Amino acid sequence: MSCDHHVHVPAGHGQTFEVRAGQYLTVIDSNGQQAADFVAVVLGDTAQHLSPVHTRRHLNSLFFQVGDHLYSNTDEPLLTVLSDSCGVHDANVPACDSTRFSIDFGVDDHRNCLDNLHEGLSAYGVLAVNVPEPFNLFQNGPVTADGRMQVTDPTSKPGDRVVFKVLKDLVCAVSSCPQDIIPGNGLLVTPIDIRISDDAPELV
Ligand SMILES: [Zn+2]
């Protein structure tokens, strides 16, 4: 029997879930203009994980496109990008964390992506210091011609989505980025929705 599973990531929070090789993983920006920090570790071997830095080297690019694989820290393709209705994502900056808010913005105890990602991964034995660097889906981090990096509001519209083919059994974590102090989520933090299916979803 085929499986179609839905995971709702509440605004500013995180969710952790498993996917199996051969399944399809769809990440949906339900309301638009919401960054979704996304990490994955290999089920049963959490030292292997999705790696933006290795992916950038494989792709010879700071950004991924439809048809690209996303690679692990052991140079293994873990996901394939099957479709992408937004086309603007970031693979270059870390997840926001407590010091990002306390040091850069003077706000203590602000919700943050690192804690959101670690919350569920801790049950798999992943320490906070070992949470992999994320792919920041829908995050808009343009790089200028002189090599400078910017972070501004996403271009994503309500319902924009990225569909991945899963190539290896993974534990994934997704954070609806709680950044509400500077642009990055349209200054309004909103939910992310996840669909996991055995059958190919309708591609956008
Ligand atoms: Zn964040």
**Residue 104 maps to a domain:** yes
Q: What is the pLDDT of residues 70-112, one digit of tens each?
A: 999 999 999 999 999 999 999 999 999 999 999 999 999 999 9
Distance 112 CA to ligand 1 centre (A): 5
Q: Would you state the pLDDT for residue 177?
A: 97
Q: Would you state the pLDDT for residue 46?
A: 97
Q: Would you state the pLDDT for residue 1?
A: 57
pTM of the model: 0.96
Residues with CB under 5 A from ligand 1 (ion): 96, 113, 177
Cα–Cα distance measured from residue 152 to residue 142, given in angstroms and rounded to the nearest whole number: 8
**Residue 108 maps to a domain:** yes
Residue 102 host element (H or E)? helix 98-104
Distance 105 CA to ligand 1 centre (A): 13
Identify which has the larger pLDDT, 2 or 156.
156
Distance 18 CA to ligand 1 centre (A): 21
Q: Would you state the pLDDT for residue 166?
A: 98
Place 202 in a pLDDT band, splitting at 50, 70 and 90. Answer: confident
Distance 62 CA to ligand 1 centre (A): 19
Mean pLDDT of the chain, nearest integer: 96
**Is the CB of residue 42 less than 8 Å from the CB of residue 72?**
yes
**Is the CB of residue 14 less than 8 Å from the CB of residue 191?**
no
For residue 19, give its domain range: 4-197
Q: Would you state the pLDDT for residue 172?
A: 98
Identify which has the larger pLDDT, 96 or 183.
96
Average the pLDDT over 11-35 and give the result. 98
**Residue 16 maps to a domain:** yes
Distance 23 CA to ligand 1 centre (A): 27
Average the pLDDT over 130-157 and give the result. 96
Residue 34 host element (H or E)? none
**Residue written as token pair 């933006």:** 52
Distance 155 CA to ligand 1 centre (A): 17
**Residue 162 maps to a domain:** yes
Q: Which one, of 144, 159, 151, 164, lies nearest residue 89 by Cα?
A: 151
**Residue 133 maps to a domain:** yes
**Residue 191 maps to a domain:** yes
**Residue 203 maps to a domain:** no
Distance 177 CA to ligand 1 centre (A): 4
**Cα angle value 168/169/173 (rounded, 5°):** 110
CA distances from 97 to 103, 108, 115, 180 (A): 10, 11, 7, 13
Distance 3 CA to ligand 1 centre (A): 30
Q: Domain count of the chain?
A: 1
**Residue 87 maps to a domain:** yes
Q: Would you state the pLDDT for residue 14?
A: 98
Distance 43 CA to ligand 1 centre (A): 24
Can you read off the two tokens belonging to residue 52? 């933006």
